Amino acid sequence: MSDQNKSVVRRLFEELWNKGNLSLADQLLTPNYTHHDSSSPDFGHGPEGERRRVTLYRNAFPDLRLTADLSHYVVGREFAWPIAPENHAMIHRVLDNSWGLHGRVASREQIQVQLGFPQHRDWVDLFMGWWEYGIRSWRQRAGPDATLTFLCELGPPTYAMTDADGYELSDRWQEALAMRDMIRALWRRIELEDR
């Protein structure tokens, strides 16, 4: 992605969505811009459609806080191993603007990998590092009574690796419990280090 495109996307989220600078839509979006998200209403094309969408969500959820689902970034952008510094920086930017975390580990080919398989250890360690960064970032921004949500979101069999008969290669419930324990241990370690 070019630096110019990156700048446009940053401004779209930081200024148009986060700050509500609606006039910016005319600068960032072409008249034939199409929003591809079937979960939101169709407000038409171009800057006016996006202004309506932003207004709807900002009015409905004035204190909207976003959750980081990093697995989709890894798969969608097919992050190569080792992860490029540019991609680490992008993930840090996402985490610096997130108020919750989705817990699912991906590789560049699979949206959800098994946590205990040795071939996935590097990916698990990578996500744990990102989540540590995200927790530390959140702790710096959040108030003393704030709550960080970490959702162990292990999807349906179509997300997981399956055998020839369609059965998952691991137990999602046990993996969710293992992830919960990993994140609780990480939280405790960060708490102790921050004292």
User: Look-up: residue for tokens 């110019």?
Assistant: 4
User: Taking 70 as the threshold, does the pLDDT of residue 154 lie above it?
Assistant: yes
pLDDT category at 129 given cuts 50, 70, 90 is very high
Q: What's the average model confidence in pLDDT over 130-148?
A: 94
Phi, psi of 192 (to 5 degrees): -65, -40
User: Taking 90 as the threshold, does the pLDDT of residue 189 lie above it?
Assistant: yes
Q: At 20, list the tokens.
A: 């509500």
Q: What's the average model confidence in pLDDT over 161-172?
A: 83
In order, the DSSP letters of 51-86 are HHHHHHHHHH-TT---EE-HHHHHHHTTPPSSPPHH
Confidence (pTM) = 0.75
pLDDT category at 139 given cuts 50, 70, 90 is very high
What pLDDT, on a 0 to 100 scale, did the predictor assign at position 169?
85
Give the SS3 label for residue 157. coil
User: Taking 70 as the threshold, does the pLDDT of residue 9 lie above it?
Assistant: yes
Sign of the Cα pseudo-torsion (166, 169, 172, 174, in order):
positive
User: Taking 70 as the threshold, does the pLDDT of residue 1 lie above it?
Assistant: no
- Quick one: which of 100, 16, 33, 115 has its CA closest to 66? 100
What are 55-72's pLDDT values in tens digits?
888 888 877 777 899 998
